[in-house]
Chains A and B, each alone.
Chain A
Amino acid sequence: MLGLSNGARVARIAIAIALALTVAACSQNRNGPGAGATNVVPGSAQEFVVNVGDRVFFTTDSSQLTDVSKATLQRQAQWLLQYPRYTFTMEGHADERGTREYNIALGARRAAVTRDYLISLGIPANRMRTVSYGKERPVAVCDNASCWNQNRRAVTVLDNATN
């Protein structure tokens, strides 16, 4: 569905979760790219996830990009312009504290806002598609704000990533 092999997808998710958990520990900095691994292959999906940051987060009910999110997306745009071989899917997500259908639309709105910002930074629209998962694909599954904050997100998923 996303053009990724299962293995690649699982690996990517594992990295993303590890990153999310690490970053969640420092409360105000979770949009940041984390510690920044140095031994990743330049131009790889791993580099995108670990060093650039593949996701931005939203506050409750909001689809506005924060300054931190904009900084992340500026790094994404720079990287995506440097590696034009990638197309990608912008996934919009909501936390579980909403109703199913509304959250599907909210995830779509978050994906659209994020996509539009990348377009404004020079990424061609035909390199990306959007999809919303609403509250169907949480990355963190506890029942308090520390998890919900990680789930309200837009994730830039590279389609033809091979690592």
Chain B
Amino acid sequence: MVDLTGECALMAVSKIGRTGGMHMITRAGSGRLVRALTRRLAAGLAAMLVAIAVLAGGAHQAHAVLEVDVTRGVVQPLPVALVDFSGVQPDEVKVGQDIVQVITADLRNSGLFAPIDPAAFIERAIDFEGQPQFANWKVINAQALVNGRITRQPDGRLQVEFRLWDVTAGQHMTGSKYFTAPANWRRVAHIIADAIYERLTGESGYFDTRVVFVEESGPKDKRVKRLAIMDQDGANLRYLSSGRDLVLTPRFSPTSQEITYMSYATGTPQVYLFNIETGQTELVGAFQGMTFAPRFSPDGQRIIMSLQQDGNANIYAMDLRNGRTMRLTNTPAIDTSPSYAPDGRRIVFTSDRSGVEQIYVMGADGSNPQRISFGEGKYSTPVWSPRGDYIAFTKQAGGRFAIGVMRPDGSGERILTEGYHNEGPTWAPNGRVLMFFRDVPGAGGGSQLWSVDITGYNERRLQTPAWASDPAWSPLIK
């Protein structure tokens, strides 16, 4: 894996283990600071943050939510100044510039931050050991300020340090130090961007993540489809399959470097497991017939999918440890696109048992299926948010395809984007952003990847070299 270690340099950032754990940031006590900051910013900058509120109450401390109310008009992103990380040697200076470029793009693309053009900076460099001259940053309206330092170690690794400052209060907010092989500088940049995002919004970040998707090439009636993976910002794209076999619907394991997907490799479409690190592929289960629509359980131990039996599709779960399968639905209908709740106790899925596709929720053992979608039109591809609070879906009505969210009981339906054809939402690991694909119609058309905030703001296209569909967002990289 990646040689990436960090240590607690100032506050609030814990060690990043080489083997284990998440990129954990100690949250104890920070919720209060964030709320205080947000309140202060809101008070000082009523216009800036008018639509941003933070849930109050100790019970919500671990989920302090940047609540953006779409009914209240345009959200103003927070102005932030990012100074090129300093270095002594030319290679250190270069990496310092590159890292800040990646952090800047991450923060800007989130829609919540407005990085200030460095041309406006009064100070060009900040002594890393000292304090910034806050007045110089106040005057260009920076609310937050980021600086850092690159130091090449005797063993060749880079030491990357950063600091985040609250300009108005004139206070240090967070900072950290990381050691990494030079080749991993982009990951360090994403990790720092996540730390900044987390500190300023109270939510976990999503920049140190990847997207697996299907790249499409060739004419529309003879499409060649390849599995591909890239960083969430489009960098480091590589292919995981050759294009010989038709492949569809890749999804990440929440716990390992594996994806599950569907392939026509044998002629019968079936679900496979693919290990990203070893390149090994493995058939999932020994089912008679077509299997499709796979997804992992939140603990990564099971795959849930559809098995086609004559004209019906039913949902099965397979335990990857012992190969045991369990049938979860048994109707003369199409039951497909299953997705677990983050606690693993419920499953949301698509069924046409009522006549057309609608969304249902059942227990993880198949018990008590309840229809939750009742709006006009057809609902499909439900995906449970990693936070548990929403289910994203594709809705077809009036010949148009929309991406929306609703609460797990079916209430609070909101359409985030709508058009000729939008399909297949996937959640960023923090549950704040959705990625999906959108079709450009016509004989020469194809699919492109887009993302949108769950408030419906900040719709953006993710650039890919060719047509692209079926995106699936990774968890935060371990």
In chain B, residues 337-365, which have Cβ atoms closer than 8 Å to a Cβ of chain A? Answer: 337, 350, 352, 356-357
Q: Which residues of A sit under 8 angstroms from B352, Cβ to Cβ? A: 102
The contact string, 1 if C-beta is below 8 Å from chain B, for chain A 130-159, is 011000111111110000000000000000
| B428 proximal to A (CB < 8 A) | no
The contact string, 1 if C-beta is below 8 Å from chain A, for chain B 382-424, is 0000000000001010010000000000000000000011011
| B381 proximal to A (CB < 8 A) | yes
Which of A97, A102, A113, A141 contacts B334 (CB under 8 A)?
A: A102
| B195 proximal to A (CB < 8 A) | no
Closest to B380 in A: A99
Cα A131 to Cα B246 with chains together (Å): 13
- Residues of B in contact (CB 8 Å), total 47
Closest Cβ of chain B to A79, distance in Å, is 24
- Residues of A in contact (CB 8 Å), total 29
In chain A, residues 99-117, which have Cβ atoms closer than 8 Å to a Cβ of chain B? Answer: 99-102, 104-106, 108-109, 112-113, 116
Which of A102, A109, A113 contacts B350 (CB under 8 A)?
A: A102
Given contacts A101-B306, A102-B380, A108-B308, contact A96 B421 (CB under 8 A): yes
| B292 proximal to A (CB < 8 A) | yes
Contact A108 B221 (CB under 8 A): no
Contact A143 B445 (CB under 8 A): yes
Which of B292, B311, B423 contacts A112 (CB under 8 A)?
A: B311
- How many A-B pairs have beta carbons closer than 8 Å: the answer is 101
| B310 proximal to A (CB < 8 A) | yes
Q: Which residues of B sit under 8 angstroms from A116, Cβ to Cβ? A: 310
Contact A2 B336 (CB under 8 A): no
Instruction: State which of B72-80, B107-115, B174-182, B262-270 sits at the interface with chain A.
Output: B262-270
| B249 proximal to A (CB < 8 A) | yes
Cα A52 to Cα B268 with chains together (Å): 27
Contact B221 A101 (CB under 8 A): no
Closest to B306 in A: A105
| A63 proximal to B (CB < 8 A) | yes
| A25 proximal to B (CB < 8 A) | no
Contact A101 B220 (CB under 8 A): no
Given contacts A61-B356, A99-B394, A142-B442, contact A106 B248 (CB under 8 A): no
Closest Cβ of chain A to B177, distance in Å, is 45
The 12 listed contacts between A and B (C-beta, < 8 Å) are A63-B311, A98-B396, A99-B337, A100-B424, A101-B380, A102-B337, A102-B381, A105-B313, A113-B311, A131-B267, A131-B269, A143-B441
Which positions in A face B, CB cutoff 8 Å? 1-2, 61, 63, 96-102, 104-106, 108-109, 112-113, 116, 131-132, 136-143
